[in-house]
Amino acid sequence: MTGPTTETTGSTADERTTAGGAGPGRATVVVLGSLVALGPLTTDLYLPAIPELTGDLGSTAPAVQLTLTGSLLGLAIGQLLFGPMSDRLGRRRPLLAGMVLYTLSTLLCAFAGSVAVLVGGRFLQGLSGAAGLVIARAIARDRFEGVAMIRFMASLGLISGLAPIFAPAVGAQLLRVTDWRGSFLALVLFGAVLTAWVLLTLGESLPPERRHGGGLGTTLRAIGGLLRDRRFTGYVLTSAFSFGALFAYVGGSSVVLQSEYQISPQTYSLIFAVNSLGVVGFSQLNGRVLVQRLPMNRLLPIGLAAPLLAGLALILFTTVWDPGLAGVWPALFLLMAGMGMVLPNSSAQALTMAPHAAGSASALIGVSTFTCGALVAPLSSLGGRPSVLLLGIVVAGCGAAALIAFVLLCRPWTKN
């Protein structure tokens, strides 16, 4: 079996698309979108099975939520590993290595006999799956600039945004014919197919002359230089805290909604899918319409208001007025819609400031966002009993932190 060679196939520096250039090819969008979709697929496909998984392994809800934390920590550390590695070795070889490891670690998850083993497998799954996330963003920076990169990010968002829409629904339907292990076996199949697809179709986008030599010291110096840039750090923190609000919802909503409102896994998957449409719809509106008319620094505060307002609404609905699921659902949709504007814009702004180290910059974005998500995901279950109130407090807190980081560090009213 042969595929494109590392040095001669695919994009090179001469093929980079500037702000006014043509958009990416459909095949490139689909394969990179599928790589980015690994993240939400890995985290979301098994969400409807969490209550069943808890009973099957004889565990508790807070302990099982650590399987999500393990995956997110792996995604964070893996991006810090694979991003700089791709700056040194090119994009293709680290990506293929990550995909093979992802498939094997997912197989370990499928046959885990305890929560401890599952947490370890999920960590390895996240660590290796991070290769697709971080390298896909780096390839985007290799090939596109300016508005063209925003359009490309929007196209990636369309595909990767479909993953959280369909993943819980597919996971819920899988529970009709198999148990929670079947969800992981489905991911094993997806990982194997995607590995072969990358091997056969995706070429190298970083030619040797644009690679950075050196080892860990060079990588740490590049990362240190990026972190000393106040505005770059501001956009990274804005993205990270926003992602924290998102994963407070992802990590807590399955148990919270199914326990407090007595809904089925299938109903939960429907709610999750509709809310995910907010991410897809607003990311497309942002990438195809709004960025053509408004500067990103004006769009970001609008998107950042969404998690803050959504969290405050959840607090209100549990302390002052209780409209039930009819009030909680729209608040969660508002949260997800805001993410469709915040995450692509904050990431694009940060990457634009680091053309010399796109892999390291992408890794910093990834490690900060997924670390924040890993720390936040279990918080809605503090005390052993998940609640809408705790979920609202965490979402509002993350939303406020993101807005403060943007205002204080990015200083959107200035040009420098």
Q: How far apart are CA 363 and CA 333, in angstroms?
A: 28
Q: Does the pLDDT at position 23 exceed 70? A: no
Task: Select the more confidently predicted residue: 209 or 74.
Answer: 74
Residue type for 383, please?
Answer: G
Copy the structure tokens of residue 390.
């705790």
Q: What is the pLDDT of residue 211?
A: 73
At residue 332 the predicted structure's pLDDT band, cuts being 50, 70 and 90, is very high
Decide: residue 327, CB within 10 A, 0-12 exposed, 13-18 middle, 19+ buried.
middle
Q: In sequence order, what are the residues at sequence separation of 6 or more whose Cβ sits closer than 8 angstroms to the Cβ of residue 342?
A: 238, 239, 242, 300, 303, 304, 306, 307, 402
The residue among 82, 105, 77 whose CA lies nearest residue 93 is 82
Q: Does the pLDDT at position 383 exceed 70? A: no
Copy the structure tokens of residue 20.
């006014």
The residue among 264, 277, 273, 279 whose CA lies nearest residue 48 is 264
The residue among 93, 272, 14 whose CA lies nearest residue 168 is 272
Tokens 């339907």 locate to 173
Q: How far apart are CA 75 and CA 180, in angstroms?
A: 21
Copy the structure tokens of residue 325.
């699921």
Q: How far apart are CA 242 and CA 235, in angstroms?
A: 11
Q: Locate the domains of the chain by residue range.
A: 25-205, 215-415
Tokens 């560090």 locate to 409
First vs last Cα of the chain: how many Å apart?
51
Q: What is the mean pLDDT of the chain?
A: 79
Q: What is the pLDDT of residue 218?
A: 66
Whole-angstrom Cα Rg for the chain: 20
Q: How many residues can be counted in the chain?
A: 416
Task: Select the more confidently predicted residue: 339 or 413.
Answer: 339
pLDDT tens digits for 166-178? 777 787 788 888 8
Instruction: Give the Cα-Cα-Cα angle 254, 403, 401 (nearest 5 degrees).
Output: 60
| CATH class as words, domain 215-415 | mainly alpha
In this prediction, residues 120-146 reach a mean pLDDT of 83
Q: Do domains 25-205 and 215-415 have the same CATH topology?
A: yes
Q: How far apart are CA 194 and CA 185, in angstroms?
A: 14
CATH topology of domain 25-205: Growth Hormone; Chain: A; (1.20.1250)
Task: Select the more confidently predicted residue: 40 or 271.
Answer: 271
Q: How far apart are CA 167 and CA 146, in angstroms?
A: 31
In this prediction, residues 207-223 reach a mean pLDDT of 68
Copy the structure tokens of residue 334.
């508002």
Task: Select the more confidently predicted residue: 266 or 416.
Answer: 266
pLDDT tens digits for 239-264? 999 988 988 887 777 778 887 888 88
Tokens 């970083």 locate to 206
Helices marked H in 294-324: 296-319
Q: Does the pLDDT at position 310 exceed 90? A: yes
